[in-house]
Amino acid sequence: MNILQKDFKTLWRSSVIWLVLALLSFVLAWLFWQMLDRYITLQGSFASLANPPTITQAMWTPFVLMLAKLMMLMIAMTAGTSVAQERSQKTLWYLLINNSSPMHVIGAKFKVQLTLLLFVGIELLLVFALLTVGGELNNLKVLISLIGLCLYCCWLMSLGMWISSQCQSPATAVLLSLLVFVLVWMLGGQTVNQEYGLNWLSLFSPAHHLQWFCEGQLAVSSLLYFIGGSVIFLRFSALQIKQLRKLW
């Protein structure tokens, strides 16, 4: 059993994770049903419009953005505890002994976080299957938004792990991660732009870049933002673990 397998078991043996996943699934199902109900009700009035919204615009994109918001809670929990838990239960030395590379440790922990994408995939697959029964989705937009959502989750996971490496208590790490996630999401909010004109700060928000993906734009700047940001946060986490050797 290597670090990856150990972390995998640690993560998925926690009953809290299953509870939160069940809760999120319920909330997503409920909200999706509400959205569908509203869409069906409004379909009559869509007929009078010259350019009515497609099912991808009216159902798929809002669902992806909603899933992205809810994933903040899940990722704050898993990524937030990833390093802080090792520190609080004093097991980090197992991973640092013999001057082991912190990047190797962080890499393994990040790979375990990626298993959460399976939940994202299942949710989106179900919604895709349901929507294709009633209409025709733009497959290219669906694919690009899926890529965007996965990259967004990776970005949040890396940021969460960095925050986690700074904290000694898992509870603090989870709350702090959630707070930071919400703040960076709000940075890219449309109301911020409306109130203050073009807000350059919004370019630093994952919400802003995810929005582009959801509109079917595969922008290089957004790809760089998510991939580069993830790499930088993972590097910072490894550096922080290296720093911990000086506090031991």
Coil, strand or helix at 205: coil
Contact 170, 81 (CB under 8 A): yes
89 binds other proteins (CB under 8 A): yes
Taking alpha carbons only, the member of 239, 75, 74 closest to residue 157 is 75
User: Which one of 47, 49, 50, 97 is in contact with other proteins (CB under 8 A)?
Assistant: 97
Taking alpha carbons only, the member of 61, 9, 23 closest to residue 211 is 61
132 binds other proteins (CB under 8 A): no
111 binds other proteins (CB under 8 A): no
Q: What's 222's DSSP letter?
A: H
Helical pair 102-113 and 3-12, crossing angle rounded to 10 deg: 40
Min CB(190)–other proteins separation in Å: 42
96 binds other proteins (CB under 8 A): yes
Cα separation, 137 vs 172, in Å, equals 42
Min CB(157)–other proteins separation in Å: 20
Residue 45 or 99 having the CB closest to other proteins: 99
Residue 198 or 246 having the CB closest to other proteins: 246
Diameter over CA atoms, the chain: 71
By CB under 8 A, the residues from 206 to 245 that bind other proteins are 245
Taking alpha carbons only, the member of 161, 156, 163 closest to residue 206 is 156
168 binds other proteins (CB under 8 A): no
User: Which one of 34, 91, 115, 168 is in contact with other proteins (CB under 8 A)?
Assistant: 91
103 binds other proteins (CB under 8 A): no
48 binds other proteins (CB under 8 A): no
Residues in the chain, total = 248
Q: Which residues bind other proteins (CB under 8 A)?
A: 1-3, 5-6, 9-10, 13-14, 89-91, 93-100, 245-248
